[in-house]
Amino acid sequence: MLHKLPFLTPPPNLSQSETFPLADSLSNQAVIVRRIQADSTEKNRLAKMGIFPGARLKIIQQTCGQILLQVYHSRLALGKSLAKQILVQNASSSYQGKNFMRLSELKIGQKAVISGYQSNRPNILQRLLEMGLIRNTEVEVIRRAPLGDPIEIALRGFHLSLRQFEAELIYVEPKETKSP
């Protein structure tokens, strides 16, 4: 079942009382899915669209009967009845001030610690884990190809090249750089 895979998980001290239905979200609001209260068929259908616990969504527009969402680089519309079954949390409060971002967004020379993953494709997630990209591992962006793909990173004493789409699946917490 796709919704039970180890996606980006919230820190243990995160309060679930701050969740609300996706249908109650505002336009231009960024949210993180916390729970889906639907049957397994519906959960799997949503997971194939990129909507699962831990997924980051942006509400583009609300109309009478549907919500237009941005999921990764795609846009999709959901009916309000289905949106009421998806419990979300405001993205700005979900990690209590921590500055999470995608590995693909790091600049050359910037260091970060891997915090989680966001993929509904278990084979890709397994491949990332086998390459050593596990939680709490420090990574540094070494260089990018001229068009940005692939990205070369350093971790645990070796260099690794990742495709842009793979780097977008990995969430990191940037390390503070000390000024001289």
Burial of 120 (0-12, 13-18, 19+ CB in 10 A): buried
Q: Which fold has domain 2-94?
A: SH3 type barrels. (2.30.30)
Between CA 44 and CA 39 the distance in angstroms is 9
Domain boundaries, the chain: 2-94, 101-174
Candidate from 10-24, 85-99, 131-145 with smallest mean pLDDT: 10-24
pLDDT value at position 176? 73
- pLDDT mean over 147-155: 88
Of 124, 125, 131, 173, residue with least CA distance to 11: 173
Distance of CA 15 to the CA centre of its chain: 19
Q: Tell me, rounded to whole angstroms, the distance of Cα 120 from its chain centroid.
A: 11
Question: In this structure, which topology does domain 101-174 adopt according to CATH?
Answer: SH3 type barrels. (2.30.30)
Left, alpha or beta for 86 (phi > 0: left; psi -120 to 50: alpha)? beta
pLDDT, residue 111, reads: 92
